[in-house]
Chain A
Amino acid sequence: MISSVYIAWRYLVFNSGRTLTLVACVSLIAVVPLALEIIVEESKRQLVERAQRTPLLVGTRGSALDLVMNSLYFSDEVPQEMKVAGAQEIAATDLAATIPLYVRFRARGFPVVGTTLDYFDFRGLELQAGTAFVLLGECVIGATVAEQLGLEPGDALLSTPETVFDLAGVYPLKMRVAGVLARTNGADDLAVLVDLKTTWVIQGLIHGHEDVVKSRDSSIIIDRSERNVTANAKLMQYREITEDNAGSFHLHGDEGAYPLTAVIALPHDDKAETLLRGRYLEADNPYQVVRPRDVVDGLMANIFRIRTVLDTVILFVSLATLMALVLVFALSLRLRQREIDTIFKLGCSRSAMAQMLAAEIAIVAMMSAVLVGLAMVVVSRYDQQVVRALVL
């Protein structure tokens, strides 16, 4: 038996090109459906779990899918902005608690999520290091952000300008990392969480600068009267918020007019949820209420439809590949006919010959299994990123 395995092994090594092709074919047949299964399950987990834990989302009328994907998974598609007054309206109904979200900016490729500290309680986020954000300009980063950017509490993280060619536009904000979240295996691992007001600082709506009333720099002041001081654009605005200059940061105008991308509404009970949804049914209401669960269910139905098609395609391709493999074996046996005749003439039995061929198949199968196992480890390791890249 051992000699049969040895001869089979030597044969496979001698015909390494053919062997590798066989191993690759067998592995592919197994890897594609298994990897697909892992990706689909991970998509389902990420999409469904988070959606189920988010009772209602309120945003400006438009694509419900964009609203859900941006608010729950911080996708690049930014829904049309709503006003803070919209969130205040919901809170005033006393039907639901509200958590505002402003997910528009990015920092070194990761989404900057403007919200309030209530978001931490709502998602059950825990800190692995440092503290929650305290001052404007501080951020708490997800575990993956910390890992990939090599950041820890006390380090700085720059926001990414929306347009690099707008020289007169808003400059990046240097944010201080206050804390790092414990891993959640969800979208929050890839997020840079900041106070809502910090996102308005990034946008330039809240700013800090030298006190123009006290300033005596004539190159800054255009006009000074008893009740008004007018400064020009030379007035330097702070791009880093420290304990010293934090007091100078102020917002202009009514906070109710400031932008948000969505509001997470947490109704007090089922009745409150129904009443709240009823208030936003009219088409002339600028805002819409969506149940993320419903939107994600629709998305999952599409994913499963695509998956069914893919499964069918994979089944046919696998069958074709298997038939091709059988053909390869059959042809190789025919090609090896003279070699097999020689082995018989040397006194080898038919069963020994069968053992040798079975050993060849077994070795190819084992090598494929190892390869498939390795591929599955890699897919499982990066499934979240793959899902984020392909699905979310």
Chain B
Amino acid sequence: MQVAVMTRAARMVFGLMLMIVTAPLCAAEPLTVYTVNYPLQYFAQRIAGEHAKVIFPAPDDVDPAFWVPDRQTVLAYQGADLIMLNGADYAGWVKKVSLPRLRLVDTSVSFRQDLIDVQDTVTHSHGGEAAHSHSGRAFTTWLDFELAVMQARALTEALSRKRPEHRQDFESNFERLRQDLRALDDALSQVLSGLQPPRLFASHPVYQYLARRYQVVVKSMVWEPGILPAEQQWQSLRGFQENFSAELMLWEKPALPQTMQRLRAMGIESVVFDPCANRPGQGDFLDVMRANIANLERVVRTDTAP
């Protein structure tokens, strides 16, 4: 009888001790992190691992740079532990809504001075005020993989501040991501170093950071992949060709066959280089970037072949 009572008491004490020991572990709920584009979601999830649930709530078929979330989605952002911003005026909606500033993380703040300014073509003024334009910045920062590493570093710091107990995990995950991004950086650098002349046309003005990092000159058009360019746009391109000899045009998505055919007739080969701002249909960020580099490599090799 006494033995049974003692056994029960010992079990209770053991159970109580187990609860006390495991309580802090149970209490540390995974962080809820929201991002404004897919690359940041990919980086943050890789770095945070199981310690955070990283959410990018935009639908798959929108450009996150110009997407505007609805009220409920903004409320969800407000409830996040951390909100990862791309910076460089990316996702203009962020400035039009109320978000908790102390939970915002501007991942491009460390290279703010290196951001590329883009001027609007038209300024305006009204009342007694001076003329002004709503100028912005080039925002596809992650296409410079060196900047992408710096953004990932900012994510790591923010996560570590929020959960210092997991800093080691975050740091080792970051290191693995950094190696992957450096590999992409080396590969792209190697491919573009073979581009002669080092000039490209771009269907959209989204390759500024890529151009600067890999030392190519890019002339940007505003052509949509799914729309056949108007005759005036073709004329503009011909005009550019007189002073700018480039034999490749980068596209965010595959262009229409007719467009590619006409470009080829003008001596310009089309290459898909998807910035991957939104979730890809297949694979992940690294897969898309590897495919982009492979696309470029194929064309550049063909171009330089004797």
A227 touches B78 (CB 8 A): no
Q: Check A233/B78 contact, CB under 8 A, given A117-B98, A213-B122.
A: no
A116 touches B98 (CB 8 A): yes
A235 touches B126 (CB 8 A): yes
Interface residue tally of chain A, by bracket? 20 to 34
Q: In this complex, which of B78, B103, B128 has the most chain A Cβ atoms within 10 angstroms of its Cβ?
A: B78
In the assembled complex, which residues on chain B have CB atoms less than 8 Å from the CB atom of A213?
A: 122, 124
In the assembled complex, which residues on chain B have CB atoms less than 8 Å from the CB atom of A226?
A: 121-122
In the assembled complex, which residues on chain B have CB atoms less than 8 Å from the CB atom of A250?
A: 134
- Contact among B96, B103, B121, B125 for A230, CB-based, below 8 A: B125
Query: Residue A212 at the B interface, CB < 8 A?
Result: yes
Q: In this complex, which of B102, B121, B123 has the most chain A Cβ atoms within 10 angstroms of its Cβ?
A: B102
- A169 CB to closest chain B CB (Å) equals 12
Stretch from A49-57, A67-75, A133-141 forming part of the interface with B: A133-141
- A46 CB to closest chain B CB (Å) equals 26
A209 touches B132 (CB 8 A): no
Stretch from B24-32, B67-75, B213-221 forming part of the interface with A: B67-75
Q: A230-B125, A230-B131, A231-B126 are in contact. List 9 more A-B contacts (CB 8 A).
A: A117-B78, A118-B102, A132-B75, A135-B98, A212-B124, A228-B122, A231-B127, A233-B127, A246-B96
A233 touches B98 (CB 8 A): no
Q: In this complex, which of A134, A136, A250 has the most chain B Cβ atoms within 10 angstroms of its Cβ?
A: A134
User: Which residues of B are in contact with A by a Cβ distance under 8 Å?
Assistant: 68, 71, 74-75, 78, 96-103, 121-129, 131-132, 134
A134 touches B126 (CB 8 A): no
- A266 CB to closest chain B CB (Å) equals 9
A135 touches B97 (CB 8 A): yes
CA distance A197 to B100 in the complex (A): 13
- Contact among B68, B96, B100, B121 for A117, CB-based, below 8 A: B100
- Contact among B71, B74, B75, B132 for A252, CB-based, below 8 A: B132
CA distance A213 to B122 in the complex (A): 8
Query: Residue A380 at the B interface, CB < 8 A?
Result: no
CA distance A233 to B127 in the complex (A): 4
Pairs of residues from A and B, 10 with the lowest C-beta to C-beta distance, nearest first: A231-B126, A117-B100, A229-B124, A195-B98, A118-B102, A228-B123, A235-B126, A116-B101, A212-B124, A233-B127
A132 touches B98 (CB 8 A): yes
Q: Check A118/B101 contact, CB under 8 A, given A134-B74, A246-B96, A247-B68.
A: yes
Which chain A residues in 167-196 approach chain B with CB under 8 Å? 195
Query: Residue A9 at the B interface, CB < 8 A?
Result: no
- B162 CB to closest chain A CB (Å) equals 13
B100 touches A229 (CB 8 A): no
- B227 CB to closest chain A CB (Å) equals 21
Q: Check A97/B102 contact, CB under 8 A, given A228-B131, A250-B134.
A: yes
Q: Can you identify 28 A-B contacts, CB atoms within 8 angstroms?
A: A97-B102, A99-B101, A116-B98, A117-B78, A117-B98, A118-B103, A132-B78, A132-B98, A134-B75, A134-B78, A134-B97, A134-B98, A135-B71, A136-B96, A138-B98, A195-B98, A197-B98, A226-B122, A227-B121, A227-B123, A228-B124, A228-B125, A228-B131, A229-B123, A231-B126, A231-B127, A232-B127, A247-B68
CA distance A121 to B103 in the complex (A): 11
B129 touches A252 (CB 8 A): yes
A133 touches B100 (CB 8 A): no
In the assembled complex, which residues on chain A have CB atoms less than 8 Å from the CB atom of B129?
A: 252
- B102 CB to closest chain A CB (Å) equals 4
Q: Check A227/B122 contact, CB under 8 A, given A131-B75, A250-B134, A252-B129.
A: yes
- A282 CB to closest chain B CB (Å) equals 27
CA distance A154 to B155 in the complex (A): 37
Query: Residue A280 at the B interface, CB < 8 A?
Result: no
A116 touches B75 (CB 8 A): no
Query: Residue A253 at the B interface, CB < 8 A?
Result: yes
Which chain A residues in 109-146 approach chain B with CB under 8 Å? 116-118, 121, 131-136, 138
CA distance A271 to B270 in the complex (A): 59
CA distance A246 to B74 in the complex (A): 14
- A296 CB to closest chain B CB (Å) equals 25
In the assembled complex, which residues on chain A have CB atoms less than 8 Å from the CB atom of B122?
A: 213, 226-229
A209 touches B126 (CB 8 A): yes
CA distance A99 to B101 in the complex (A): 8
Q: In this complex, which of B100, B124, B128 has the most chain A Cβ atoms within 10 angstroms of its Cβ?
A: B124
In the assembled complex, which residues on chain A have CB atoms less than 8 Å from the CB atom of B123?
A: 227-229
Query: Residue A249 at the B interface, CB < 8 A?
Result: yes
In the assembled complex, which residues on chain A have CB atoms less than 8 Å from the CB atom of B98?
A: 116-117, 132-135, 138, 195, 197
CA distance A135 to B69 in the complex (A): 11
- A216 CB to closest chain B CB (Å) equals 14
- B261 CB to closest chain A CB (Å) equals 34
Q: In this complex, which of B97, B98, B121 has the most chain A Cβ atoms within 10 angstroms of its Cβ?
A: B98
CA distance A195 to B128 in the complex (A): 27
- B97 CB to closest chain A CB (Å) equals 6
Q: Mark A216-237, 1 if CB is under 8 A from B, else 0.
A: 0000000000111111110100
